[in-house]
Structure 1
Amino acid sequence: MTAIPDVGVISYGVHLPAWRLDRKGIGRALGSGGGKGTRAVASFDEDTTSMGVEAARRALAVTAVEPRGVVFATANPAYADKTNATTVHAALGLDRSVSAYDFAGAARSGVGALFAAADSAAAGRPALAVLSDIRTGLPGSAEERDGGDAAAAVHFGTGDDVVATLLGRGSASAEFLERWRIAGDSSSRLWEERFAEGQYKELAAEAVESALKDAGLTLAEVDKVAIAGLHRRAVRSVTKALGRAVVDDLSAVVGVTGTAQPGVLLASALDEAAVGETILLVALGDGADAMVFRTTEALVELRERRTSPSVAQQAARGFEVGYQKFLTWRGFLKREAPRRPDPDRPAGPPAQRNTDWKFGLTGSRCTACDTRHLPAARVCIECKAVDEMVADRVADLPAVIATFQADLLAYSMNPPLIAAALNFEGGGRMIAEVTDADAKALKIGDQVEMTFRRLYTTADGVHNYFWKARPVQAAPSGEEN
């Protein structure tokens, strides 16, 4: 029998939205509730799919290993009856032979995606698990206050590229009523907290015992514990029971990020871990799951290759969104739109014909004179050569703003709409919307990076995805409600 090589994490990436809601703002607006700290807020042009793309791009940017499969997990999918993972797949520019599947419906699907990706890697097929969530509760609720939005991507593979070997895992499943949301509802309903606390404590003990046995370790040999779960009381109880050094769950700054939280906390632990450390990841939700990892020398090399900010750096970089705007973005506060025609629905056939450009931001480069064309063209604008082109993806290239304008009359959920002409490194120009930016602070010559966003959603529920530009280090300096 052929031995299975060591399976583990070969790369990872996290996307925390730029916006933060100060919880005190909830109390100021409603007269009660709120609390201390902040929570991460997905922008008006982000959803779980677009955030998943951003996390996955960061994971793939630091490894040469191509995934053979993508599994996308979320409790809040942008589409039902349509695979959201295929949008992630297209935006990453992956080969058509790479499989793409959804794990959707519950926060626990995030751990399921991690398990599935690890199993795929063990079978010789490196796989990317993408976990994403947008947590929403009714105005003034604990769900609204404690939730947070985020995405994480964990790439599993084998061999010398493994930065954290998967030593063991365990699970304990049980049917009990703790949290639920029926189709069409915008927020979850919860049972009384004390009932589920005892259930989770028992289930976590079983899952941890099973994972440690699988790894051939004792709890005393674990260096760090990361505990994820929407049931905050149960998380505190399990933390106390394990009695080990716990990775900051970022709930005070980012919030509890649901489906994404196991991936975010694993990434945060790997950001700070020393070589040879053992990490126990525990996730609570309709049961309990545990995974045991041990870091390798390859983690040092991965950090040297990485150019994206760490989890801690992203958590510290947020800037404020007012509560009224937050409610508008979430759909709880209906505000009059600009008196302009509604945007047209993107049609299926032309979108399919232009998938490489629309989702992958892939143009063409003339092999005769090296001129880049955005979007792709058959005839070179410079030397007039015909059909002498090769595909040229620019999604991961830096660009600078050649000129821009801020339009207060154009259709936007976050006016003004900023449109800019971008000059890409290595040639090529395109017009793109600028997001996560302050028009007053923006300047010609500012460096931007491309980010996958949702332009708008039509009345019949079609999401129009495309790429926008985001200032590399700039952030809005003021806040308008």
Structure 2
Amino acid sequence: MSRTITAVGAYVPQARLPAEDVSEAWGRFDGAGIRSTAVPGADEDTLTMAGEAARRALEASSIEAADLEAVTFATTTPPLEEAELAVRLGAFLGTGDSTRHETAGASTNAGVAALADALEGDSGPHLVVASDAPRGEPDSDQAHAAGAGAAAFVLESSGGARCLSRADAGLDYPGTRFREAGSSTVDSLGITPYEREAFTETIGRAVDGLGESFDPSSADAVAVQAPNGKLPYRASGVLGVDTDVMTDHAVVHDLGDLGAASVPLSLASALAAGEKTVLGVGYGSGSVSTILALEAGESDEAGAVSGEVDFESDETISYAESLRLRGEITGGEPAGGGAYVSVPSWQRSTPQRYRLEAGECPSCGALNFLPQGACRRCHELVEYEPVQLERQGTIETVSVISQGGAPPEFAELQARAGDYATAIVAFDGPGEDDEHASAPLLIVDAEPDSVSVGDRVEATVRRIYTQEGVTRYGIKARPLE
């Protein structure tokens, strides 16, 4: 295998739902071994989480999005059932005209398999992103365990972590974790001994496929698919490893079941922490397993992997709040009215809406956002030079939209998330001359009355609203810590 992992990035929503809150609501908690789960915001989905993780990985690398040969997006819960969403992810990032885009899915093994496939390439840089937010019926094991998060990996031709070995296995175990056509929730037959057998036998078959190429017991860290906090440890026997090497970078206990992002997030954590030999053990119902053995250098060596991974959050929410955020007890598209921007018009402005592309006036040098019409400073009608704004800026004005005050297109967002703040943000220009350009945005990841004029914020891509069945994505701002 020729490519290596040179940088990683990760993103996990801030909100945490404690297991005891679910237990209080249902009289039980069926997410074995889980203390809390990560809950996506009302304007977050697997695509927006993928975009955030990917941006962080690219910032930790020496690669520009426009130079990527390929982007792979792996998920079991895409926002649309039929669409090449990796292309939209590429648009968030600004990939090149010749970049190849691929979407992988069908099982929770998709994230590990996509990473393993990309490592086998030997040409230009490749970005692999696994993002997931599985759902289940509210009173099911799957719903109680469901979390959300994304991990991204930048692959290059040298440096970083190299693949020592790969093995795959597939066995037919119908009825283990499936999602029926037209359903948004995963299910299973709930036959525990059967599911354990499928899990351990399939992983064991993949271990046999490693042969003498890699000894799992030599791994410093092991990441195993974790639909709950107990099942992965049942694989310790067939892997021949102590459970200690599985717990250090396990994410399931505090974040929940992360689907296709489960193993990738643990791998990203281990690589960012400087673990030298890391084993990733993917598993998907059906059943399939991909095992990937990686070797990285120490933190001060050429083979080290760059990037930071931080899963900490002190924002806890109640069970009722989690149902609202997930849209379980609210929903429905607004019945007309409000602003309307056609999909073709929105598409033409995606460089601005996704990546904050402004225009520089050739007459006076002022930065204009949006880059159209007369210059805000000299008032001349000009052809603007494209300029990429920085993703950080300063709040110039801010106001809070209270319940019932939202425009119709934002009514569902307000029903799910509550009051929200809007602001005019002056984003920094690329130079050192204090030039900036201002844009009106919604504020996220903060209580609406906690942001003030002068606060520093950063841009992030979120869902704006949905009309005609098509979601408009764009920039929002969140406070910098």
Q: TM-score, structure 2 length as denominator?
A: 0.87
The alpha-carbon distance between structure 1 residues 109 and 384, as it changes in their structure 2 partners (threshold 3 A), is same
SS at match of 1:82: coil
Structure 1 position 378, deviation (Å): 6.0
The size of the alignment, in residue pairs, is: 453
Structure 1 position 319, deviation (Å): 0.6
Preserved contact between residue 272 and residue 305 of structure 2 (Cα < 8 Å): no
Preserved contact between residue 227 and residue 281 of structure 1 (Cα < 8 Å): yes
Does the alignment pair 1:392 with 2:387? Answer: yes
Paired residue for 1:425? 428
Paired residue for 2:270? 269
SS at match of 1:229: coil
Paired residue for 2:432? none
Structure 1 position 187, deviation (Å): 1.7
SS at match of 2:321: helix
Question: Aligned letter for 1:93?
Answer: G
SS at match of 2:88: helix
Structure 1 position 300, deviation (Å): 6.1
Q: Select 2:232's aligned residue among 229, 232, 235.
A: 235
Distance 1:346 1:379 in 2: 22
Preserved contact between residue 228 and residue 284 of structure 1 (Cα < 8 Å): yes
Does the alignment pair 1:52 with 2:50? Answer: yes
1:171-210 alignment to 2 at 5 Å? Answer: 171-177=168-174, 178-191=176-189, 192-210=191-209
Paired residue for 2:457? 448
Distance 2:271 2:306 in 1: 15
Paired residue for 2:445? 436
Distance 2:178 2:145 in 1: 17
Paired residue for 1:375? 370
Distance 1:181 1:190 in 2: 8
CA offset digits 1:134-156 (Å, max 9, x no partner): 12122232212212100111121
Does the alignment pair 1:357 with 2:352? Answer: yes
Preserved contact between residue 283 and residue 290 of structure 1 (Cα < 8 Å): yes
Distance 2:290 2:168 in 1: 4
Paired residue for 2:59? 61
Q: TM-score, structure 1 length as denominator?
A: 0.87
Preserved contact between residue 9 and residue 154 of structure 1 (Cα < 8 Å): yes
Q: Which runs of 5+ in 2 are unaligned?
A: 430-435
SS at match of 1:173: strand
Structure 1 position 232, deviation (Å): 5.5
Moved more, 323-332 or 433-442: 323-332
The alpha-carbon distance between structure 1 residues 337 and 23, as it changes in their structure 2 partners (threshold 3 A), is farther
Structure 1 position 418, deviation (Å): 0.9
Preserved contact between residue 406 and residue 418 of structure 1 (Cα < 8 Å): yes
The alpha-carbon distance between structure 1 residues 391 and 438, as it changes in their structure 2 partners (threshold 3 A), is same
Distance 1:318 1:302 in 2: 34
RMSD: 2.5
Distance 2:217 2:306 in 1: 33
Preserved contact between residue 272 and residue 306 of structure 2 (Cα < 8 Å): no
Paired residue for 2:135? 136
Does the alignment pair 1:465 with 2:473? Answer: yes
Does the alignment pair 1:20 with 2:19? Answer: no
Q: Which runs of 5+ in 1 are unaligned?
A: 474-481
Paired residue for 1:333? 329
Distance 2:305 2:249 in 1: 24
Does the alignment pair 1:124 with 2:123? Answer: yes
The alpha-carbon distance between structure 1 residues 208 and 157, as it changes in their structure 2 partners (threshold 3 A), is farther
Paired residue for 1:403? 397
Distance 2:138 2:363 in 1: 59
SS at match of 1:320: coil
Q: Identity over the aligned pairs, expressed in percent?
A: 26
Distance 1:303 1:428 in 2: 38
Preserved contact between residue 399 and residue 422 of structure 2 (Cα < 8 Å): yes
Preserved contact between residue 92 and residue 360 of structure 1 (Cα < 8 Å): yes
Question: Aligned letter for 1:325?
Answer: E
The alpha-carbon distance between structure 1 residues 388 and 296, as it changes in their structure 2 partners (threshold 3 A), is farther
